[in-house]
């Protein structure tokens, strides 16, 4: 009885692990898509309305996906704290907090990091160019992430359970 229970635990643990990895693959395209539209919103606020950065970030945080909102909101709060930090530093600080909670990977974060270095330091055409570049790069990552998701989500879902089963078979 105990053996059967242990087997069940191992199989379900393997399954859960597999599902968690698969979830990362399936969430990344969702977050990248939301990120792209959030940057589009930011570009509109900056280039058409010339909204000050803190206010623009707040507006984007209100309208964007709840998973991404903290990145924009925390940058806004840091800018409003009058601590003397620049937009790059505020963005970097928010990014460090946001990264572990997100499904984004290193190359996505690199794109965001280089965008942070350009935020607020040029005229609106300069800002537009930087934001468009970031959106294009995110678009390219999104395509890769969608292909990855297609390939890996099912794989990891099965792999988790099967891995659990293999362990059970070896030790049973």
Which residue ranges make up the site for other proteins (CB under 8 A)? 46-47, 50-54, 56, 79, 82-84, 86-87, 90, 119-124, 126-127
Q: Which is nearer to other proteins, 88 or 152 (CB)?
A: 88
- Which residues fall within 8 angstroms of residue 63, CB to CB, at 6 or more apart? 38, 41
Distance of closest approach, residue 127 Cβ to other proteins, in angstroms: 5
Please name which of 1, 6, 25, 47 lies closest in space to residue 171, comparing C-alpha atoms. 6
Distance of closest approach, residue 134 Cβ to other proteins, in angstroms: 16
Q: Which is nearer to other proteins, 14 or 58 (CB)?
A: 58
- Which residues fall within 8 angstroms of residue 109, CB to CB, at 6 or more apart? 95, 99
Greatest alpha-carbon span in the chain: 71
Q: What gap in Å lies between CA 129 and CA 60, rounded to an integer? A: 19
Distance of closest approach, residue 90 Cβ to other proteins, in angstroms: 8
Q: Which is nearer to other proteins, 46 or 135 (CB)?
A: 46
Q: What gap in Å lies between CA 52 and CA 63, rounded to an integer? A: 17
Distance of closest approach, residue 74 Cβ to other proteins, in angstroms: 14
Residue pair 152/125 in contact (Cβ under 8 Å)? The answer is: no
Q: Which is nearer to other proteins, 89 or 146 (CB)?
A: 89
Distance of closest approach, residue 143 Cβ to other proteins, in angstroms: 30
Q: Which is nearer to other proteins, 103 or 128 (CB)?
A: 128
3-state SS assignment for residue 122 = coil
């Amino acid at each position: 009885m105990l053996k059967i229970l242990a087997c069940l635990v191992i199989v379900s643990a393997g399954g859960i692990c597999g599902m968690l990895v698969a979830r990362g693959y399936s969430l990344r395209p969702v977050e990248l898509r939301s990120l792209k539209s959030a940057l589009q919103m930011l570009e509109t606020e900056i280039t058409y309305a010339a909204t000050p950065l803190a206010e623009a970030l707040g507006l984007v945080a209100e309208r964007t996906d709840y998973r991404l909102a903290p990145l924009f909101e925390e940058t806004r709060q840091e800018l409003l704290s009058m601590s003397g930090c620049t937009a790059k530093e505020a963005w970097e600080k928010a990014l460090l907090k946001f990264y572990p909670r997100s499904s984004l990977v290193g190359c996505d974060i690199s794109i965001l990091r280089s965008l942070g270095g350009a935020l607020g330091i040029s005229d609106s055409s300069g800002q537009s160019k930087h934001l468009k570049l970031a959106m294009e790069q995110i678009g390219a990552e999104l395509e890769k992430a969608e292909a990855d998701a297609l390939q890996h989500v099912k794989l990891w879902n099965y792999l988790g359970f099967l891995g659990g089963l293999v362990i059970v078979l070896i030790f049973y």
